[in-house]
Amino acid sequence: MTRLAEAKLTVPEAAYVAGVTEKIVNREIDARIMRVIGRSRHRAVSGLDVLYLGATRDVREDMSPQLRKRLHDAITTAVKEARKIAKLDMFELPIAAVEKEMRQQFDTLERMKRDLIESRAGVRAGEPVVKGTRIPARQIADLVRQGAKSEELQHEFDLTREQIEAAIIFDRVTPKRGRPRIRKLRVTEHVPADR
């Protein structure tokens, strides 16, 4: 199992594990507090960045960008030097406590990617499906978004609760392939009111 601090996660995955929005992750990257790693189509951040996001989740808005950058650097240094506590002036942050808090989300994400969702060339043209079935993961997530109850889906598709949750998480953290749909704007004629 990968240690969170050593992981590489996409922006949606980092947001899921840290319990923040993708917008916050992207803002921290754009503010140069966190660095993008790798050269793929999608932005990716390190597990150290995710630890920082989790540590600042509730206090981020009260901190200046300079202070956030210093805290990020303190966390990074502490982990690289195998220290248990990141220190910044009078502030002390127990690294293990922060990692433990996010560990369940990270483990769920890893298990989903490893054991519950798969893509095979010969099944639905490589579309991600619930492992061991031909049921598209996004279809399950769409049905849940439309109001279908987990029990109904379990009965209808012969899935476990864990498989349904994995499909929902997959849909949340994995960008859809292809170009985004272009939304057509409905233009209506504006008639000024008589005065």
**DSSP secondary structure letters along 106-152:** HHHHHHIIIIIEE--TTSGGG--EETTS--BHHHHHHHHHTT--HHH
79: tokens are 């982990």
Domain that holds residue 156: 119-173
pTM: 0.81
Tell whether 138 is covered by a domain: yes
Instruction: Give the pLDDT of residue 1.
Output: 39
Q: Which residues of 99-126 are buried (b: 16+ CB within 10 A; e: fewer)?
A: beebeebbebbbebbeebbeeeeeeeee
pLDDT tens for 84-106 read 999 988 889 999 888 898 999 99
14 and 101 share one domain = yes
Tell whether 186 is covered by a domain: no
